[in-house]
Structure 1
């Protein structure tokens, strides 16, 4: 899967344009949540989601130095246009487009928005809150990358007792092996899965996945690919993760 030349990995406007084209083909509605420095922050809604069907929530581009996640989400969507047309989806394709352009974790203000999703007054997270409030969701997939990662891994928040992440990581390991560290980002990990039984209280602000969970999304998975690996391989791993997670939650 050759999605784009490496030199376009941080071309946020090109990414956004491809989402607009795909939305027109699939009957999805494109919302502009806000504009930052003249660049729109988009939200994509499938027809079924607009009708109130419980949706799969997918997002990427929270951190601009994690391009494999943003392009992986687009690659999955272009590959699965038929499902996008018929299914219920809420998609935030690039929540930090200026950060993507500048290849930086933070946004146009120098702020990590993944600690701002609780803030109704934030220029990006406030409109995001207003967009998702009252929406029925089946699950949420938040796509990221990690500079320090030694392989793929995920964080899981799940109301169910059974952990879903292990089977998903196992299948995705065909593309990139799991990160086998027993502690990742200060959290206990097992074979690339961090299962959070309680919500963290030490953070300076609320990450997207936790805010979604607090707002009623029954399970959220935050997937991480190692950002120092080959871009094309990272994109393929992101696509496979979405495919496998979709399958897992559709059959469960």
Structure 2
């Protein structure tokens, strides 16, 4: 049985409605950062996060043409509802709902939000900043997809001497194997892991993962599934990544 019918992949309203039901079931606070045209940009906070406990940050839907990321996060959350009740989570389920609906990378204004997270005046990213600033975070998982991807891979932004990415890729690689390329978008890749110990320089704008790091999130992982692969398999891969990352990083 497929997790998600293809015709629902870009139904942003259905996605938001299911998050609303899940929030009620798990005691999470669901709020609206802002309105993007007629669609809300929603966030969720578990009860423990509302109390100030150090949280795991999860996000998807920054790029609307990367549908498996948004549905993978929801599928993980529905599967792990008890974790949401007990644990500390900050979740941005679909930062670009109009882009999801239109199947476009950019948002409703034609802006690539993943080059905009530094902008306090931006409608969406400014509201995101006001929400996330001052929050205590253990690590952040940012979910994406890559049109050119040949397998799964991740960017690890981590100042620690040891890396976590290889064990995580190993655990989730049974669904979709790691991308075999040695160079991905000009970055050296080792079996699907692109490791960064320093902030990237000369960016055209600030990605979410880098801005999180600047706001005291000590480790961020940006996960990519290959968007030309089967949708259901990509959703399963996103779920497997979240499960593997939380398992490895929570030890």
TM range (shorter): over 0.9
3-state SS of 2:250 partner: helix
Which ranges in structure 2 are unaligned for 5 or more consecutive residues? none
Report the aligned-residue RMSD: 0.7
CA distance in 2, matches of 1:103, 1:176: 23
Cα pair 2:10 2:100 within 8 Å, conserved = yes
Query: What do the CA deviations read for 1:201-249 (whole angstroms, capped 9, x no partner)?
Result: 2111100000000111010000000000000000000001000100111
Do structure 1's residue 163 and structure 2's residue 169 form an aligned pair?
A: no
**Structure 2 matches for 1:72-111, cutoff 5 A?**
72-111=72-111
- Cα distance in 2, alignment partners of residues 173 and 3 from structure 1: 19
SS of 2:243's partner is helix
Q: Which 5+ residue runs of structure 1 have no aligned equivalent?
A: none
Instruction: Name the CA distance, whole Å, in 2 between partners of 1:36 and 1:197.
Output: 34
- Return the alpha-carbon distance in structure 2 between the equivalents of residues 96 and 10 of structure 1: 11
Alignment of 1:135-174 (within 5 A): 135-174=135-174
- For 1:14-48, what per-residue CA distance to the aligned partner results, in whole angstroms no more than 9, with x for missing partners? 00000000000000001100001110000000000
Q: What count of residue pairs does the alignment treat as equivalent?
A: 251
Q: Does 1:236 align with 2:236?
A: yes
Aligned mates of 2:3, 2:32 — CA distance in 1: 25
Determine if contact 2:160/2:197 at 8 Å carries over to the other structure: no
Question: What is the CA–CA distance in structure 1 between the aligned matches of 2:67 and 2:6, rounded to whole Å?
Answer: 10
Moved over 4 A (4+): none
- Please report the TM-score for the alignment, with normalisation by the length of structure 1: 0.98
Secondary structure in 1 aligned to 2:239? helix
**Superposed displacement of residue 159, structure 1:** 2.1
